[in-house]
Amino acid sequence: MKLSRREFVSTASYVAAASLCALPSFGITTSDSNARSSAGCTLLDLESNCALPESLAGMRAALGNAHLRVTHIALRSAESVVVVPAAGKVRAETFGAVADSIEHGSTVLWESGAAFLEPRDFAYQQDLARDHFAMSMETPIDVWSHSTSRAANVGGKNLGARNMRSIGHAQVPYVVYRWPREAHVRDFSRVIPVSAVNGRAIARWGEIPVAWRKRIGAGTLIFVGSPIGPALRAGDADAASLFCSLIRV
């Protein structure tokens, strides 16, 4: 079977990411309690409430077999690491279950997909994030249109290589991570400015914080307002390395 160069690079990146994220033990089925108890990472599948199917696909590929895939109904209050891809129209019950898991010691990587919702639905997610996580989400920013307009004026030069790179004649927006490792991850569309009264920003687009880390009870919330999953699916090596670092902290 012949593969194009793009298909080969993408497949190779999936394999590399899966090997980087490999954890000591794993399980796949949620019906096997022994396998579940030994799993290193739980992937929370929001099903129709996942705003970006490509984000779920990218994270599943990066995790390989080192995870359990569950719905919110099966989420326990004491998982070790929980990954939530592209959270869209998430119900209050799901927010509550995740918050409870963090309170009991879990590390949760919550990748928000709320930027792709209708304004009314986004406002509801803002309320839930504030009520359950004490996180503030501001109005989403279309980074491609902003990058184009800022690059066209003198002020745009201040953005520099920190969040824009040139590919041909296009200015591609990048999000800069400073924790848990330095990484530049391209964003494919929109970012959500995020903040909280405690914790700290771990990534910015320009000067705007778009990812935050904070303690809640005995656990840790890593709230990402710029989706990583699509970059994982595209075979981005920096995104794969960053993702693996995030779920190992």
Protein fold of 5-140+190-246: Rossmann fold (3.40.50)
State the Cα–Cα distance between residues 68 and 137, nearest whole angstrom: 29
For the stretch 19-76, pLDDT in tens is 446 433 322 223 333 333 334 799 999 999 999 999 999 999 999 887 899 887 677 7
For the stretch 203-220, pLDDT in tens is 999 999 999 999 999 999
Residue 96 pLDDT greater than 90, yes or no: yes
Task: Please give the mean pLDDT across all residues of the chain.
Answer: 80
- Rounded to an integer, the average pLDDT of 171-177 is 86
Q: How many CB atoms lie within 10 A of CB 188?
A: 18
Q: What residues does each domain of the chain span?
A: 5-140+190-246
Angstrom distances, CA of residue 168 to CA of 4, 142, 147, 165: 22, 20, 15, 10
Question: Looking at per-residue confidence, does 70 or 110 come out higher?
Answer: 110
CA atoms lying within 13 Å on the CB side of residue 95: 19
- Residue 162 has what pLDDT? 45
Contact (CB, 8 A) for 83 and 247: yes
- Residue 154 has what pLDDT? 37
Read off the pTM.
0.79
Q: Cα angle vertex 171, ends 201, 228, to 5°?
A: 40
Q: What CA dihedral angle connects 18, 19, 25 and 28, to 10 degrees?
A: 20
* Among candidate residues 173, 177, 169, the one with its CA nearest the CA of residue 210: 177
